[in-house]
A and B are shown apart, each in its own frame.
Chain A
């Protein structure tokens, strides 16, 4: 479903991605792990065409994202939900209006139908009753869940999660990851999760790809990664300092 071929990307002369290639099958959850500043979020932004690679290609269902424009790009993006690191909620809208926005603008649904859909999604992410709140009144976990509801309301085939648990306490972080797992089982979307919440992510991902030094260092099932003898992988999983992993 998603195929990334040999992507290179530099920022101000600093090469972040040095030939990234991997693919994600339909219905699969891939966890993308690696040190901070290694370009995990950059990869997600390449998948949706918010960034263009210096070299290489991204394909979704065989369509090269870099070559799509106008309606074709909109059509592909309409099938992808993206959960930003900070939620990226519209701060001047209420929770309800945030979730309703894509429906109002992209569909011909009546306000009654929109209301039903929005309330259903908010209920699904555990935010029933919070529809009249503004983002400034929400906790970190509620912001992520609102953003999740907004992404889900378009019924995406692909969900991209950019650090969905960053900045949350362990209980809320686990709640969010459990929510991703249960909604994946229910809706069957394809997903890529960038997260540092390794123990929980390893429980919900089908495969794990580790990014290191601008390359995919290793890919495998969570069991394979956990039993890896590679010193870099071992150091990252155990969180020990002073090894071959560079910190940014």
Chain B
């Protein structure tokens, strides 16, 4: 009977945490759709989450595309279909790898920093100080990051996709001999606007997941340096897992 009680305890605690996270997101969205919006804070976050992630996205996109070009060429060569390398690389990137890898890179680079920043503000009472000034910390700390995530992720994903496609072309076309016209021509034939939209929808939702989880973990960080470091680790792990889980749900149910 003890294990049943333990199981109940764990379930209740899990539900409690999910409920708190849900309320946190609802409050963030409510603040995001009601004025005043802090535009300078939003721009700063777009700079931080978006612009400052472009190098890592560029590198990840280039190498992902190159690997896809290499692997795809050898696989398609077995079936005599190397002409379809362009669509294969493009569809893999646009529908799956672009949104997912961009999201994981942003989680590692910007998400962890978001959690640490908010966590430190929490433990050093900066958030309490803001509340005591009669200011809503959500408007200054959470909403700008949420909006910046929603704006930046699709743009970063687009950069990832384009760089990846050219990376695939560099390996498949320049090094392995697939013609430029074949590579890009077949891509234009096979890639539909729905595929592009699928990638955009995914990256939009990943933008919400990353900022939501990372901000929540920072906002509810425990005491001291240990509390912040624990929150940062949890934020990166949870948002990465949620990105992959949500990717599967969107792929299987919605498209």
14 additional A-B residue pairs with CB within 8 Å, beyond A86-B125, A88-B126, A102-B133: A73-B134, A75-B134, A77-B131, A77-B132, A84-B125, A88-B125, A88-B128, A90-B121, A91-B120, A102-B135, A105-B133, A106-B133, A106-B135, A154-B133
B44: nearest chain-A partner, CB-CB: A92
Which listed residue, B124, B125, B133, touches A101 by the CB 8 Å rule? B133
CA distance A84 to B126 in the complex (A): 9
In contact, A50 and B132 (Cβ under 8 angstroms): yes
In contact, A50 and B134 (Cβ under 8 angstroms): no
Which listed residue, A86, A88, A91, A106, touches B134 by the CB 8 Å rule? A106
Which bracket fits the contact residues of B?
10 to 19
B129 CB-CB contact with A under 8 Å: yes
A-B CB contact pairs (8 Å), 25 listed? A50-B128, A50-B132, A73-B134, A77-B132, A77-B133, A78-B133, A82-B129, A84-B128, A84-B129, A86-B124, A88-B124, A88-B125, A88-B126, A88-B129, A89-B129, A90-B129, A91-B120, A91-B124, A91-B126, A101-B133, A105-B133, A106-B133, A106-B134, A106-B135, A154-B133
Total number of A residues with any Cβ neighbor in B under 8 Å: 22
The proximity string for B residues 54-95 relative to A, scoring 1 for CB distances below 8 Å and 0 otherwise, is 000000000000000000000000000000000000000000
**What residues on A are CB-neighbors of B132 within 8 Å?**
48, 50, 77, 80, 82
Given A82-B129, A88-B129, A105 and B124 contact (CB-CB distance below 8 Å): no
The residues of A with any CB-CB pair to B shorter than 8 Å are 45, 48, 50, 73-75, 77-78, 80, 82, 84-86, 88-91, 101-102, 105-106, 154
**What residues on B are CB-neighbors of A154 within 8 Å?**
133
Q: Restricting to B91-137, which residues have a CB under 8 Å from any CB of A?
A: 120-121, 124-126, 128-129, 131-135
The 6 closest A-B pairs by CB, nearest first: A74-B134, A88-B125, A88-B129, A78-B134, A102-B133, A77-B134
The proximity string for B residues 25-51 relative to A, scoring 1 for CB distances below 8 Å and 0 otherwise, is 000000000000000000000000000
Could you tell me the distance in whole angstroms from the C-beta of A137 to the nearest C-beta in chain B? 16
CA distance A89 to B120 in the complex (A): 12
B120: nearest chain-A partner, CB-CB: A91
Could you tell me the distance in whole angstroms from the C-beta of B237 to the nearest C-beta in chain A? 26
A86: nearest chain-B partner, CB-CB: B124
**What residues on B are CB-neighbors of A85 within 8 Å?**
125
Could you tell me the distance in whole angstroms from the C-beta of A153 to the nearest C-beta in chain B? 10
CA distance A110 to B128 in the complex (A): 26
Q: Restricting to B120-167, which residues have a CB under 8 Å from any CB of A?
A: 120-121, 124-126, 128-129, 131-135
Could you tell me the distance in whole angstroms from the C-beta of A128 to the nearest C-beta in chain B? 23
B129: nearest chain-A partner, CB-CB: A88
**What residues on A are CB-neighbors of B124 within 8 Å?**
86, 88, 91
Could you tell me the distance in whole angstroms from the C-beta of B43 to the nearest C-beta in chain A? 15
CA distance A15 to B124 in the complex (A): 24
**What residues on A are CB-neighbors of B133 within 8 Å?**
77-78, 101-102, 105-106, 154
**What residues on A are CB-neighbors of B129 within 8 Å?**
82, 84, 88-90
Could you tell me the distance in whole angstroms from the C-beta of B178 to the nearest C-beta in chain A? 50
CA distance A45 to B124 in the complex (A): 15
**What residues on A are CB-neighbors of B131 within 8 Å?**
50, 77
CA distance A50 to B133 in the complex (A): 12
A103: nearest chain-B partner, CB-CB: B133
Could you tell me the distance in whole angstroms from the C-beta of B122 to the nearest C-beta in chain A? 11
CA distance A75 to B125 in the complex (A): 21
CA distance A82 to B128 in the complex (A): 10
CA distance A77 to B130 in the complex (A): 11
CA distance A75 to B121 in the complex (A): 24
CA distance A86 to B224 in the complex (A): 13
Could you tell me the distance in whole angstroms from the C-beta of B160 to the nearest C-beta in chain A? 29
